[in-house]
Structures are given as C-alpha cells and as structure tokens.
Amino acid sequence: MTGRDAGRLSLILLMTPFALWIGLLILLPQIGIGYVSLREKVGFNQYEYGFANYAAFFGEPIYRNTLLRTAWISILVTILALIIGFPVAYYIAKVARQRSRAALFLMCLIPLWVSDLVRAYGWIVLLRETGVISTTLVSLGVIAQPVEMLYNDITVVMGLVYTVILFMIVPLVSTLQGMDDALLEAGYNLGGSRFTVFRRIVVPYAMPGIVSGCIITFMLAAGSYLTPILLGGKNSSWFTEQIYNQFITRYNWEAGATFGVLLLGFTSFVVWAGLRLTGQSLATTVAKE
Amino acid sequence: MYDLSCASITKKFGMFTAVSDVSLDIPSGSFFSILGPSGCGKTTLMRMIAGFESPTSGDIRIKGQSVVNVAPNKRAVKMVFQHLALFPMMNVGENIAYGLRCRGDAKADIPRKVARVLERVGLPGVENKQISQLSGGQKQRIAIARCMVLEPDVLLLDEPLGALDLKLREHMKIELKQLQHQFETTFLYITHDQSEALVMSDAVAVMNAGRFEQIGSPRELYDAPVSGFVAGFVGDSNCLHGKLVEVRGQEAVVELDGGGTVLGHVFDASRAGDAVEVFLRPEALAIGSGSDSIRLDGTVDSLLFNGASSRILVRTERGQLIEIADPLAASTVSQGDAVALSWRPERARIFARRHA
C-alpha cells in the first residue's frame, strides 16, 4: 500500500504546479472576465446583470468588423507562415546534414533572444519614411521622394509572420525528423512523382506538426498586441487594441471583459472550424505511430 | 534474356569505392541473392538498381533496356525496404493501392487488384486494418504485396527479415521462397545472413569490399569456394593459419603457426612459402586418428547440444578451439578426453591468407 501512496503523493506533487497555473492564471481570470462581462453599471456601485454588453458589441459594426478583420489577417498570417515555414522545416529536418542541422535550428531561435518590442522597432528603423530602406532607395535614385512603408496591412502581416513563424517551424521540424527516409524512397519506388510523394506521404506524415503549428501561430497572431500596434499604428484596427482601449483608455471594464470573452470564443471557433474543414481533430496533434 | 543485368558497375563516393566493377546477370524468374558482410557495398548496389544512386560507371539493364538514365519512379523494379517502409498514415488497402494509383490504373479496378494480391500473399480481407495492427510476418507480406501488385520485372529485397525474431525468420525464409515460386518474378535478395541466402536462392553472389568474390549455386559456394573469404563466410568453418611448405599437384603440406603439419588441397594460386589458411568444415572432421599429416590432437573442451546441429568443441594442443559436427549427438567422448581428429585431404581447403 505504501508504494501506491507514494505514487499518489508524487502525482499530487507533480500536478500541483500545473493545477495552480491553470487554476489561478487561466481559469480564475477567465471566470472573472466572464463575470464582469455580464455586469452593467447603472449607477455608483449599482450593477445589473445581463447581456447588454454583448448586445452593444453586436450593435456596433466597428467592433464586429475589427474582430473579423483580426481573424482574417491572423488566418492569412497562419497560411503564410505555413507556406514559408514548411520548406525551411523540411530543409532542416531532412536535407541538411546532421552537423549543420543544429546550427540552422539555432539560427531560427536567435530572434527569440531579443524581445518582441525591440524586434518591432527593428522593423520601424527599416521601414519608416526616414528609415534605412527609404533613404537608400532615394540615394540610389530609384524613387524621388521618401516613402512611408509603415502603417499598412502588408507591413502588419509581414511583421506578424516574422514574429510567429518560429512556432510553425519547431513543431514541423520535430514531426518531420521522425519520418524515415525510406518512406520517401518507397513512395518514389512505387511510382510516385515528387508531387505525389509530397502530397500523399510527406504532408499526411507531417499533419500533427501542421495542425499544432497552425493552432499556435493563429492564436499568437490573433492575440498579439505589440506588433500590429507598432507596425500598423492607428490603421491596424486590431481587436486586442479595442480591448486595451476599453480597459485602459475608457476605463470600461465591462465592455473590455466582453471583448475578451468574444475574442476567446471567436478564435476557438475559428480553430474548431479549421479542424473540421481539413478533416483533422485535436487528437491528431498527439496521436502518432 | 536476363531480367536484370549489371555490367561493370562502379560506384565511388569521393575517394571511397563502394562498389567496384561488379557484373551480374539474373535469368528470368530466379531467386538471386547477394551475400556479404555489412559495409561490403551490397546496399549501394541495390540502391543503384532501384535508381536512388547512379553508378559512377557501368550499365544497368532491365529486360535488356538500359535504365541508368531512368528516374526511380519510372523503373519496373520494386523494392522491399529493410524496415519495410509501410506508410503508417494509410491502412493496408491504401498502402497497396498507392502504387496502382500512381500508375493511373482505372479506379474501378483497384479494389479488385488489391483484394487479389492480398489473397495471393495469404491475407485476404485485411484491407481496412491499420499497419500498426499487423504482426511482423504480416507486415512483411503486405510489403511484398504492395510491390507485387504492380507486377514488377524484378523485386529487390533489402534484408527484410533482419528485424524479425529467429523463429519467424526461419518461417519467413520458406514463405518467401514459396511466394517467389508463386509470383514467378525475379527476386534479388540482399543479406548478410548466409543461411538465408543458402536456403532461398537459386544463385548467390558473395560480395566483399565492393567486389563479387564468387557467383554460384548455394551448393557450389559451400562445396567449392574459390577464395578464403567465401570459404570462411559461407557455412561454418574451422580456420587454421600456417605456411605452405610443399605442393604436389593439388595436394599440399602446411606447417601450422605454432608447430605441426597438416595435409590439404590448394584451391588457388598459392605457392610454397606463402602464408595460407586451412579451412575445415565441422562435418569434414571425424574423431579417430588418420595418418600422420591428417590429424590434429586435442582434448574435448565441451559438448554443445543443439539437436541435429550438435557440436563437439575440441581444444588443440596449441589452444585453438575446433568445432566438429556431431549430428546424431551420439558421440561417446566426454569432456576432458584426449582425442585425435582426422579428415580426407581434399576436404581441407587451402587458400592464401586474407589480409585482415
């Protein structure tokens, strides 16, 4: 019996930090946010409960459109990260030699050593009207006037892809590394073209990595704040900015909490819909033989 | 017409020559094996035939057509990989249908062809099983079915039995031979296990350090090896080191390292004075003294019982252990007995010493 007790004790000890983390930092704040979102201030310390905040959200097109826009751009960022990240991951996992593999992987990690903020300012230094690219082009005579390259959607998408792509590459590399090269050779040997082998062997094999990479990058993109604000400025219309405005600028915690709940709900819905559309499930991210 | 022929194939990786001037011709419908230790170049040779490597020089012909410039997915050569390489994300039926779909077979024909090949390998109705649900032997058969459904000219098998346990391996040897008969397709089998090669093959090529040492039927390799390497690698042999002192026609006298002389037959160009090795098969040795030069004295070290392959282990006066076959396990000697071993001189094969 003592052995079983010891086993139970070690399980409790192992699970405690996890349970505390989930409970105190995820569940409790979410419950709090959910509670606040249902509250409406009618007078000094007087509250009523109901869905008035949600009604206000749906009644105001700018809020709806901002949320939809955020979701669309995040989906676009996810797709671009997948398209750019897959060849990189494939090269690192399958083409590069053993020794250069670690170095390449490290090079992908290096940007993470610098904070988001500094990296965003890096883009600003490059892209602003008086920035490196603009002045270089002017001095080369390619353009006559300095050009402002910040504060548009392309810059926001580019900056987001750059920020999140690593989280696409890492899961892809680890799934692709598990793939035996003999599978590819068998694919060719049995008559498959390069495209067939890619579509019917490489992609299905990498699917757990693709699914988990896409979920992470989408969630990171949709929930990011710094990059869209700094690179997109006032034009970015990012939903997290709306939440920030409600909480901090307007001191309207009720509306801010409502937006927070809606962001979580909507992004979760997008992930669910994405899994359904591609015929995958969350289980594929872990189930592997 | 040969199903597969290779003419003076050489493959170099930088300074290293993996395969050196190898030629072979495999007649239609035969079971041909390439036998050699790991690193001898047999896998490189097979990968060249499959098209994953291209030869530095030489030509590969399938049914008389050169395929050196044909892409691997266009060759009528299919391969069973060492670890089988069944696609884990597809079920059995999809694995087998993969090749048919790549070839562009009519959709309606595919299920029928899949069902028929599964029947032929003795696993009817397993189309919807996942690969992970199959046993080792079943996976083996699915890997073969996946290739055979495409009716290749040549089937390459790269040590596919290596991952199986001993009992299953013995069973699969016989089954592979039967499958080959049934499909009447040319099999090219690569292995480092001489018993696999001997049991299954019509012809065997023994490969060492990138070259073929000998090509012949299993019996020829066993009974008439042409080099010390083949004699030592194919079948069990006791090997005595010594120096050739006298050659009379084929018969020769060898002075063993550490003293004593033995009589045997020279099978290569060794001359008096050369360092040689004398190979004695366990079944060529008998207990009981012969004449002077065809005897070795020693004491029984141990009796190794293994049914029909039982052995007596004798330690010679110079401390070397010699195996003697005792197929009936009926010998009356016991541990510690002093014994003399004898043989017929033509069964002691003398070859130039290999450079270790």
Residue ranges with strand state E in B90-133: none
Of the partner residues B73, B77, B131, the one whose CB lies closest to the CB of residue A192? B73
Cβ separation A190–B88 shorter than 8 A: no
pLDDT (0 to 100) of residue B168: 85
Domain limits, CATH 3.40.50.300, in chain B: 2-228
Residue A173 structure tokens:
């590399």
Instruction: State whether CATH 2.40.50.100 applies to domain B236-352.
Output: yes
User: Can you tell me the distance from the alpha carbon of B22 to that of B34, in angstroms, rounded to the nearest whole number?
Assistant: 12
pLDDT of the residue at A267? 93
At B271 the three-state DSSP class reads coil
Interface check A179 vs B, CB under 8 A? no
b/e burial code for range A56-94 (CB count within 10 A of at least 16 → b): ebeeeeebeebbeebbebbbebbebbbeebbebbbebbe
Q: Which residues of B touch A (CB under 8 A)?
A: 50-52, 71-74, 77-79, 81-83, 85-90, 98-99, 102-103, 131-132, 146-147, 150
Mutation to test the A interface, candidates B94, B98, B188, most A Cβ within 10 Å: B98
For residue B71, which residues of chain A lie inside 8 Å, CB to CB? Answer: 188
Domain ranges of chain A: 62-287
How many angstroms away from the CA of B96 is the closest CA of chain A?
Answer: 10
Chain B contact present for A183, CB below 8 A = yes
pLDDT value of position B19: 92
Residue A287 at interface with chain B, using a CB cutoff of 8 Å: no
Check pLDDT > 80 for residue A197: yes
Scanning every residue of chain B, which has its alpha carbon at the shortest distance from the alpha carbon of A185? B52
Identity of the residue numbered A15: M
Which residue from A minimizes the CA distance to B146? A190
Look at residues A114, A256, A278 and name the one whose alpha carbon lies nearest to residue A210: A278
* Residue A289, pLDDT score: 44
Q: Do residues A209 and A172 make contact, with C-beta atoms less than 8 angstroms apart? A: yes
Distance to chain A for B70, nearest Cα, Å? 12
Task: With CA atoms as reference, report the closest residue to A189 among B159, B73, B41.
Answer: B73
pLDDT digits (tens, 9 = 90+) for B103-119: 999 999 999 999 999 99
Partner residues linked to B349 by β-bridges = B265, B279
| CA B222 to the chain's CA centroid | 11
| Residue B102 to residue A196, Cβ atoms within 8 A | yes
Separation of alpha carbons A128 and A146, rounded Å: 9
CB contact under 8 A, A193 and B99: no
Separation in Å, CA A196 to CA A133, B73, B353: 42, 11, 53
Q: Judge: B83–A200 Cβ closer than 8 Å, yes or no.
A: no
Mean pLDDT of A188-207: 92
* Residue contact A192–B102, C-beta within 8 A: yes
What pLDDT sits at residue A85? 95
φ, ψ of residue B272 to 5 degrees: the values are -55, 135
B261 CB contacts (<8 Å, ≥6 apart)? B245, B253, B254, B255, B293
Using one digit for the tens of pLDDT, what is the confidence trace for A87-138?
Answer: 999 999 988 888 888 888 888 888 888 888 888 888 888 888 888 888 898 8
Which option is the CATH number for B2-228: 3.30.1390.20, 3.40.50.720, 2.60.40.1080, 3.40.50.300? 3.40.50.300
pLDDT reading at A147 higher than 90? no
Instruction: For chain B, 356 residues long, give each residue's pLDDT as a single digit of tens.
Output: 788 999 999 999 988 999 999 999 999 989 999 999 988 899 999 999 999 999 999 999 999 889 999 999 999 999 999 889 999 989 999 999 999 999 999 999 999 999 999 998 889 989 999 999 998 889 989 999 999 999 999 999 998 888 788 888 888 888 888 889 888 899 999 999 888 889 899 999 999 989 999 999 999 999 889 998 999 888 888 988 888 888 888 888 888 887 778 888 888 888 888 889 999 998 888 887 666 667 788 888 888 888 888 888 888 888 888 888 887 767 778 888 888 888 888 888 989 887 65
Average pLDDT over residues A260-267: 93
pLDDT of residue B269: 80
All CATH 2.40.50.100 domain ranges of chain B, comma separated, are: 236-352
Q: Find the residue in A nearest to B145 (Cα).
A: A190
User: Whole-structure pTM over 0.95, yes or no?
Assistant: no
Test B146 with A190 for CB contact under 8 angstroms. yes
Inter-chain touch B72–A188, beta carbons under 8 Å: yes
Residue of A nearest to B47 (CA): A185
- The mean pLDDT value of chain A amounts to 88
For chain B, say whether A145 makes contact (Cβ under 8 Å).
Answer: no
Q: Do B131 and A289 touch (CB under 8 A)?
A: yes
- Closest-CA residue in chain B for A208? B89
A192 interfacial to chain B (CB closer than 8 Å): yes
Taking the C-alpha atoms of residue A23 and residue A155, their distance in angstroms, rounded to an integer, is 37
Substitution target in A189, A195, A198 with the highest count of B β-carbons within 10 Å is: A189
Name the CATH architecture for the domain at A62-287.
Orthogonal Bundle (1.10)
Higher pLDDT, B317 or A209: A209
The SS3 of residue B86 is coil
Cross-chain Cβ contact B85/A193 below 8 Å: no
What's the full length of chain B, in residues?
Answer: 356
Q: Is A191–B103 a contact, with Cβ atoms under 8 angstroms apart?
A: yes
User: How far apart are the two ends of chain B, measured CA to CA in Å?
Assistant: 40
Min Cα distance A183 → chain B (Å) is 5
CB-nearest partner of A183 from B77, B85, B99: B85
Question: H helices within chain A, ranges in order?
Answer: 2-20, 28-37, 52-59, 61-90, 98-109, 116-127, 132-140, 153-177, 181-189, 194-197, 203-223, 226-232, 239-244, 253-277
Average pLDDT on A161-180 reads 92
Contact call for A185 and B52, based on CB within 8 A: yes
pLDDT at A243 over 60: yes
